[in-house]
Amino acid sequence: MNRRVVVTGLGTVNPIGNCVEDTWEGLCAGKSGIAEITKFDATNFRTKIAGELKNFDPLAFVTPKELRRLDDFIVYALACAEMAILDAGITIDDKNSERTGVIMGTGIGGLSTVEREEKVLLNSGTKKISPFTIPGVLANLASGNVAIRYGAKGPISCTVTACSSGNNAIGDAFRTISHGYADVMITGGTEAAVCPLTFAAFNAMRAISTRNDNPEAASRPFDRDRDGFVISEGCGIVILEELTSALNRGATIYAEMSGFGSTCDAFHIAAPPPGHPGAVRCMQLALEDAGMEPSDIDYINAHGTSTSLNDLYEIEAIKQVFGDHSNKLAVSSTKSMTGHLLGAAGGLETIISVKSIYEGVIPPTINLDNPDPGCNLDLVPHRKRKKDINAAMSNTFGFGGVNAVLVFRKFHE
């Protein structure tokens, strides 16, 4: 059984905006969400910049008691699930609860809770540890809390595949509906890793930007002068729905999801291999799953992290998959504006890809002042572009050599 799956609801909080509308407006304006770190004292860190949420009010989505008990990655998921469900106009009740599921991705889970409670343990002893520590740390508790809040009794899971977590979650949700195990899935990625341990560890790897004097220019995918990615926080959630269910409700359909590919490089814990053959196979599998040819794709939302090897090897992989058509593609990295949301990147970038199809606009790659000579495709520099997009691809690649690619197309009955 292969049933058609469509996108009917969107919800996000991220460094650009606290809703889809503000995010889309900011992206199309080429706005950067990167600034100095405020969530902790970064004085002694090599990196002092991040993509933090701005003016986000968690109490609009959770009670004060919940806020004390829940890690931020769970709060963000609850906020975005509420937005997406409202946007979809769907009601979860006794009639459909067992056919409604949740799959969320996160790369790290409740790391801030780990940091906080370890300090309590070391300074105050075992009796002062919160009983909500474990529920705040476990990666699957984003999915669990969303399911509990909305009574979603169908399939539930959590993908933890580093920076591909969001795409893997959405891909798994797509297959869950396509194969008949559910009719509606609440899915995406969430991450809240702006905390000292994250930055100390990535600094030790020499993986993140230290362009502290000019935060807005720090994330510069495909640019010759890039010096690493920028860590960000946030969440992106979409409602995937079986087509007949969506049509019967008269739902707004943003796009149809038509393909998913997942592969492993089996090469290195952090670095992609030259030419990125795992990414090549992943894009090919996603196209095959969608029943599409390379020439059918108009836009790729690239993984485009602003790291030297990823950017170059992703472009090489795109050229191999798309051949001559690669010169006709529009390819942009919105991480130039949002930074890298780690496990939430795929959730946010799915929303961006779907909005690009729905609105007929491609957000730009900002900070692309001096393109790397090897990154010589149409990377939509600096300014948005109006373009009729019939199909879009969203790439994510992560530590452990994991690759996950999604394909969306304009909806036609």
**What sections of 179-242 are H helices per DSSP?**
196-204
Confirm whether 412 is a catalytic residue: no
Distances (CA, A) of 50 to 35, 63, 194, 268, 398: 6, 27, 7, 26, 19
Phi then psi dihedrals of residue 185, to 5 deg: -130, 130
Catalytic residue among 158, 163, 235, 282: 163
Helices (H) and strands (E) in the chain, counts: 13, 14
Confirm whether 282 is a catalytic residue: no
Asked whether 281 and 384 are in contact (CB, 8 A), the reply is no
Asked whether 392 and 299 are in contact (CB, 8 A), the reply is yes
52-88 CB burial, b ≥16 within 10 A, e <16: bbeebebeebbeeebeebbbbbbbbbbbbbbbbbebb
Asked whether 331 and 299 are in contact (CB, 8 A), the reply is yes
* Burial zone of 116 (CB within 10 Å; 0-12 exposed, 13-18 middle, 19+ buried): middle
Confirm whether 375 is a catalytic residue: no
Which H or E element spans position 263? strand 255-264
Asked whether 400 and 162 are in contact (CB, 8 A), the reply is yes
Q: Which amino acid is at 191?
A: E
Phi then psi dihedrals of residue 198, to 5 deg: -60, -50
Catalytic residue among 80, 282, 303, 375: 303
* Chain centroid to CA 205: 22
The C-alpha atoms of residue 240 and residue 253 are separated, in whole angstroms, by 10
Sign of CA dihedral 350, 274, 326, 385: positive
Distances (CA, A) of 183 to 8, 48, 156, 162, 349: 12, 44, 13, 27, 23
Please give the positions annotated as active site.
163, 303, 340
